[in-house]
Chains A and B, each alone.
Chain A
């Protein structure tokens, strides 16, 4: 499992080192590191489609791009079963309280990807109707630029998030 090592990651060993130890039949690591490693490959995103980006999110889940390669294919209809929210599209004033409520219903630990420029900063819709950046409502882990981002860009964001999950301290 050759995974690029994050610069400055201070927790435990690299994946290669772990693999080596597994081959020897012995595994020693810190609990933090083991939990982060286990978590990153089983994200359950909530189906939270808003606008154009939702179509690209669907495309990313389709056959050609196939998100299941990163253990992400299990889109959950209920936020209570999900730990990742992909805010895919423009968030209107009317939707903002709903979005926050859905976020609150998600169990910890939970992560948010802000997909596309509208969700990240309001984008071209600098007007009365659109929340200028979803980070004023929910904490965002990864911002994906683009209008809409190509599925490859969403995947890049997801890989970045996995890196973040792997290296962050799980117990806060």
Chain B
């Protein structure tokens, strides 16, 4: 799959690798960019929203939007935007793609990224009174207080067996 010339003309940072197109945009232009690829390039279906965490880097969080076409052979495009550690805010895309609702809630729950303007930005997978955002790289795999009577799950590497 080659990059459509219109996409290269519209965006400054377009990378094609392993047959996948990745467009990197600043968070201010994210909504415009998503609306543009939806309305002009036919990527009408938002498949996935997620984040990756790169602590010690700036930007620390990369928010990824996977879009695809609907009807006929599928073409895909990925939009990415970076957020800094001190200001992990990005505007919600639920206005453009209602399906982003739960996907953004999940990203908030697991990474602590705030989606400004989201209709109901609450925890979705973890209990409401959970401390922290477990998929951040600086959170341990185990070794957390549980929600049940103050029990504790020891970290994996300190187990005896």
A interface, CB within 8 angstroms of B: 93-94, 96-97, 100, 126-129, 131-132, 136-137
Contact = CB atoms under 8 A, between A and B. Distances in A.
Contacts of A126: 141-142, 156, 159
Contact of A128 (B142, B148, B151, B159): B142
Contacts of B125: 94
Given A126-B156, A128-B134, A132-B153, A93 B148 contact: yes
B141 A96 contact: no
A148 B130 CA distance: 29
Interface of B: 125-127, 130, 134, 139-144, 146-148, 151, 153, 156, 159
22 contacts: A93-B127, A94-B125, A94-B126, A94-B127, A96-B147, A96-B148, A97-B147, A97-B148, A100-B148, A126-B141, A126-B142, A126-B156, A127-B141, A128-B139, A128-B141, A128-B143, A129-B126, A129-B134, A131-B148, A131-B153, A136-B148, A137-B148
A96 to B, nearest CB: 4
B79 to A, nearest CB: 29
B144 A128 contact: yes
A127 B148 contact: no
